[in-house]
Structure 1
């Protein structure tokens, strides 16, 4: 039986190895990672789930779009009375060949949200999920490439994907015009028929398109937004801005007026490059990148919001706890000692709590409150209660699978 804790990158790729994916496939070439798994994604998402998102989630643009490669003009998402989605008109547009797209579907689906959190923790990259519902004999987009890596999970129905090849090495959103490619000028594609349970990986920069044939199709695309060397350099500069006023100083007054004083601008640039070379720190850049990544974590969504608070009353030395593995966390120094940072929380404590906090971060499975090292019983209970309340820990029930 699939449980919320099942949803992970390993589960998504199974039986394909995540380690093999990272070593031999990631950023190298498209690959059909998993196949012949009918019904595999039923616990994750379904036609019915998407219908419920539309009816009760009521996504608003840009979280919802309609697209058809054969339409001469773009179609706006229709709304009716009270600002609600006009489901009847959307249904008619769908019947006429328009794909329904719900962006960031993890904001509406707890199961997809849990999978996203687990994927992010495993990959160290921000991930977003979009749902695509395409009617029979239709296509949402003409040949194009994405500026982020894409993992396609075919949920229901079938869809034919055509992958033509790489057009640009590691393209950035700022360096592409987004225009579709002319099919007749592209090389012969690799045709990949996706069926329910299949998973396809397409690196960024690889031109592709997809269309249905004789039935509706529902798939999820997991957009993996990997930070780049540009992000590392920019973050290193952000760290330098905190200590070097040269990075915060304005450019010369009227610097755009002709004739341009390039000698003056070159002098400024040379000085900034010098500071990056002498004082730029990979550790400082890493810390800022990790801080941003941690803040994306979401501790809710496991269905234990009330149980975790009620569990505070029964917390005892023998109470079994475990860390929510999908949450990235770290220890940081504070003015009063040490802090355990996760999601939008920072639990501060004296330095004597360091050993216990490290124990929690390194724990691979359940542990008891009394197992927390270096603390007396009262401190153990206090630390466990704080992390249970704030969502990093959960109580392990007797019927939980381990």
Structure 2
């Protein structure tokens, strides 16, 4: 195996992150005034403590995969969700920390409808669904053997999951909006954490973790361009609570997963030994166990010493550093080959001209909508042309704070069928006077989600462009 002092070569993205202004999570272990670099990161921070890097504060901002990903806007997020919705792996939905168990029944598996009902939307392997995130992961793999991206869209005053720890190292890249993070400084005696995924799968977060205090000595608010590095095993939680009466904004961030739980010696060694022993027929036979004497070995042992000695001799003679390195590389290559195929597909699709939609209502029309699309009230024939899947609801469930204003916008459009409005300007047509719903809760992505749902259900129709009016 490689010497543990070796430092991986760096991608442009990783160099830009680690050479940005930064703060470490455990002040007593690393000198925060030291200049950071890839070398410093892997020797002093990697798998030791969290750190926050502020790429937006760089004096020499670079262009490349990271800046392209940070340029993503709400139209890009909508495209990402649409791509994922069409794939085999559907988005995951959480409402104030609780998983939504039947999103098809509640929202017809429509991420925009779920978002309007205050759900967080998680896209696993987002690098298979958006070209900018695919390119970001491709570049980071020049440093790390294999990475992938999960994205988190969280509405204002919400959170996706409860406090928990992960069994992998991650880079959290804040792209749109802001999110408040608590990272608890409790470091287990046996680190990496033996039970790394507390807060998941029925494992409770020990009370001692939350009483140990916070890394960085306080809650940290990630702004666009901030990158949080979090080693596996550190308990954390995040919310989009509005800070200092600021604007009501959703948050969108990408979590770059570095599957370090798969790279440790215990996993690589056990996989190698299992594969080797499975190649011998005698070692695949069931051990002599059972209630009846006929199923017991003549020696009374479940594993005769001779057979165990043969297995141990085979392991000692064949399991070498070179074999482990070869098997680990084969594992990386397998994951990277699959990832490359999926990422190339989405990157190449981006270069093709978008096919013009010939429909005004329904799913296909809705998937074309962005913030600059123009919509109007649909006519009866258009509404009747929309086929609703059996069991699918015709209406929407909208969070209480937004309901009155959104229904008011829809009412204004229906009252004047000649009114054509850009999606991003829909809030301008509604008079919020005497309304219990405030328009400052209606962000651009809420307008886009609402318009997409209304066009899909047939309440609104897509107008191709202002030039056709």
TM range (shorter): 0.5 to 0.7
Residues 171, 205 of structure 1: 8 Å contact kept: yes
The one of 151, 165, 169 equivalent to 1:149 is: 169
Distance 1:301 1:62, change over 3 A: closer
Could you tell me which residue of structure 2 aligns to residue 211 of structure 1? 239
Q: Distance in 2 between matches of 1:35 and 1:135?
A: 24
- What is the alpha-carbon distance in structure 2 between the residues aligned to residue 37 and residue 59 of structure 1? 37
Change (3 A) 1:76 1:93: farther
Alignment of 1:305-320 (within 5 A): none
Q: CA deviation at 1:90?
A: 1.8
Corresponding position: 1:106 with 2:141: no
Q: Structure 1's 12 and 113: CA in aligned 2 closer, same or farther, altered over 3 A?
A: farther
- Alignment partner of 2:287 out of 224, 245, 252: 252
Matched, 1:20 2:47: no
Pair 1:137 & 2:157 matched: yes
CA distance in 2, matches of 1:100, 1:77: 11
Q: SS at the partner of 2:117?
A: helix
Distance 1:148 1:78, change over 3 A: same
Match of 1:281 among 296, 314, 320: 320
CA distance in structure 1 between the partners assigned to 2:122 and 2:175 by the alignment? 14
| SS of residue paired to 2:328 | helix
Distance 1:51 1:233, change over 3 A: same
Write 1 or 2 for the structure with the bigger share of helix. 2
The correspondence of residues 82-101 of structure 1 with structure 2, limited to 5 A, is 85-94=109-118, 98-101=119-122
The TM-score, its normalising length taken from structure 1, stands at: 0.62
Equivalent position of 1:379 in the other structure: none
Cα 1:114–1:88 shift into 2, 3 Å: closer
Q: Is the 8 A contact 2:125 2:149 kept in 1?
A: yes
Do the aligned partners of 2:170 and 2:231 also contact (CA within 8 Å) in 1?
yes
8 Å Cα contact 1:132/1:220 also seen in 2: yes
| Unaligned 5+ runs, structure 2 | 1-10, 21-35, 243-248, 352-469
TM-score for both structures, normalised by structure 2? 0.54
Whole-Å Cα distance in 1 between the matches of residues 174 and 57 of structure 2?
10
Q: Report the 3-state secondary structure (helix = DSSP H, G, I; strand = E; otherwise coil) of the residue aligned with 1:286.
A: helix
- The question of whether the paired residues in 2 share the 8 Å contact of 1:158 and 1:216 is answered with yes
Q: How many residues align?
A: 293
Structure 1: runs of 5 or more not aligned: 1-5, 308-402
Q: Which structure has the larger Rg? A: 2
- The answer for the alignment partner of 1:8 in structure 2 is 13
Tell me which moved more, 195-204 or 181-190: 181-190
What is the CA deviation profile of residues 165-218 of structure 1, one whole-angstrom value per residue up to 9, with x for unaligned ones?
Answer: 335622478986453527686222232221110011111111110111222111
For residues 290 and 256 of structure 1, do their structure 2 counterparts lie closer, same or farther at Cα, with a shift above 3 Å needed?
farther
- State whether residues 143 and 181 of structure 1, in contact with CA within 8 Å, keep that contact through their aligned partners in structure 2: yes
How far apart in 1 are the matches of 2:311 and 2:332?
Answer: 27
Aligned-pair CA distance for 1:250: 1.0
> What SS does structure 2 have at the residue aligned with 1:58?
helix
TM-aligned CA deviation for residue 153 of structure 1: 0.5
Partner of 1:53, secondary structure, is helix
Contact 2:167 2:197 in 1 (8 A): no
Bigger share in strand? 1
Aligned residue in 1 for 2:80: 53
CA distance in structure 2 between the aligned counterparts of 1:121 and 1:192, rounded to whole angstroms: 29
| Distance of 1:175 and 1:140 partners within structure 2 | 16
In structure 2, the residue corresponding to 1:232 is in which secondary structure? helix
Contact 2:148 2:257 (C-alpha < 8 Å) held by counterparts? yes
